[in-house]
Chains A and B, each alone.
Chain A
């Protein structure tokens, strides 16, 4: 019995040490990526190519999801607000929920599963098939040539995707409440306009999405680069990318919200 408890504690200790170790390795890797970003910035074509894969190809899922989330928000908001006779405020509800929270968070979650997993799998497979080693032997640094452009492409595309998500959501809410249900169009837009503050809502949402972009892409490139060069290794790394980024997004969102919207009525 005593032995079991001791080995249990030992196990916990091992896990903690391992996690802290890995976090250190990841931080070091992240700094290396930043240090070696010169090539990507000088040869911006490399980043643009990746922008297509991470940003443009994520558009469909972002646009469609944004539209549906906005439509659901419109429906639910109308249901509740009409009980109090204030269904004209539905525009405000849709816009604020999207711009402050759902836009950055849901877009980042979708981005992690659509683009983050793809980045991890690609880098992991490049490692498993010795493409990264081959690049190193050709005197080309794989972190500068492969990892950094993908990282920056992710960081750049995330805020745009979040913004597009919010715009589509607002449009979805408009479709449901104004076009189908018949809420007054003027009040939908004007109430939204007066309630949504540029500095507090839009800029803060934008800052959030930037944080999420950095977090998701950093996790994705690290997991790919760190993946054991086997089939199970790459599949495990891909799963970890999605799980870790999702948790980090939600955790970060809470922290950022706590700082940003303190005392804002």
Chain B
């Protein structure tokens, strides 16, 4: 029996050149759960997803996916592993030269020898799951932002992965599309028995659907807990983030000299 955790992250460090992005991250992600990773822009959330997907190498520490240490795999093993993962990019990243149908069929055609008639049925089923079966002939440029993201979602579940990573799935969506995507993430995770990681800064929408939340700030885990614990938290950072307060542990002002001295008012007597 495989362990209950799909992902184990241990003492994960990552730096671009000399700039440390992640400093000693420890996380566990249970199978069948929706886990949110929140944090301000540039806090290293997307980097974390890339480390899980193996497109970046950690400076130290490791990410274990289904018992395998991701960065130790060779290229073929890594590609085999990635077939078990799906990723939803921020704006969908649909292939613009392929129709909706061909986008969803892409992985099936690349990785399987399924006959075209079966691919057709599978694609229509996946599209039906996101409510866009009727749009299968459209091209990506004919879709709205929310629709494009739903198609991308259908594409990422094409081969029934164990894990789907969502990179800011709520960015730039209207309220209806927002809750549609949110509910789809929850429903697909439950019905397909997958695990989902949602990187987001949309607190209210994601707290409705997730099982567990990690907050990342300055490359470390600033707080973690269930949505209820997060809502009730009195930790200054979490409170500021959840309630969207302008000033707090994350300052409004970028570090600067004294305002007075910047305006050359030092000597002025008021």
Contacts and interface: CB of A to CB of B under 8 A. Distances in A.
A133 B53 CA distance: 11
Most buried by B among A125, A135, A138: A138
Contacts of A125: 96
A94 to B, nearest CB: 40
Contacts of A18: none
B106 A138 contact: yes
A139 B83 contact: yes
B89 A133 contact: yes
Interface in A115-145: 125-126, 129-131, 133-141, 145
Contact of A134 (B83, B87, B111): B87
A195 B202 CA distance: 76
A51 to B, nearest CB: 15
Given A130-B93, A131-B93, A137 B110 contact: no
A130 B89 contact: yes
Interface in A140-172: 140-141, 145
A30 to B, nearest CB: 19
Q: Is the interface of A mostly helix, strand, loop or mixed?
A: helix
Contacts of B82: 136-139
A109 B108 CA distance: 40
Most buried by B among A133, A139, A140: A139
A131 B107 contact: no
B53 A137 contact: yes
Q: Is the interface of B mostly helix, strand, loop or mixed?
A: mixed
Nearest to A137: B87
Nearest to A129: B93
B5 interface: no
A139 B95 contact: no
A239 B85 CA distance: 37
Interface residues of A, number: 15
Contacts of A145: 110
A34 B55 CA distance: 22
Nearest to A39: B110
Nearest to A140: B110
A139 B79 contact: yes
B93 A133 contact: yes
Contacts of A129: 91, 93, 96
Most buried by A among B86, B107, B110: B110
A40 to B, nearest CB: 13
A131 B96 contact: yes
Contacts of B94: 131
A136 B85 CA distance: 11
Contacts of A126: 95-96
Interface in B33-73: 53, 55
Contacts of B179: none
A135 B55 CA distance: 12
Contacts of B15: none
A140 B107 contact: yes
B155 to A, nearest CB: 8
A186 B109 CA distance: 58
Given A139-B82, A139-B83, A134 B107 contact: no
A99 B131 CA distance: 58
Contacts of B111: 139-140
B80 interface: yes
B91 A130 contact: yes
B90 interface: yes
Given A129-B96, A139-B80, A134 B55 contact: no
A99 to B, nearest CB: 36
20 contacts: A125-B96, A129-B91, A129-B93, A131-B93, A131-B96, A133-B55, A133-B93, A134-B87, A134-B89, A135-B95, A136-B55, A136-B82, A137-B53, A137-B55, A137-B82, A137-B87, A139-B83, A139-B110, A140-B110, A145-B110
Report, nearest first, the 7 A-B pairs whose CB atoms are least far apart.
A134-B93, A130-B93, A139-B82, A139-B79, A137-B87, A130-B89, A139-B83
Given A126-B96, A131-B96, A139-B79, 6 more contacts: A130-B93, A133-B55, A134-B87, A137-B87, A138-B86, A145-B110
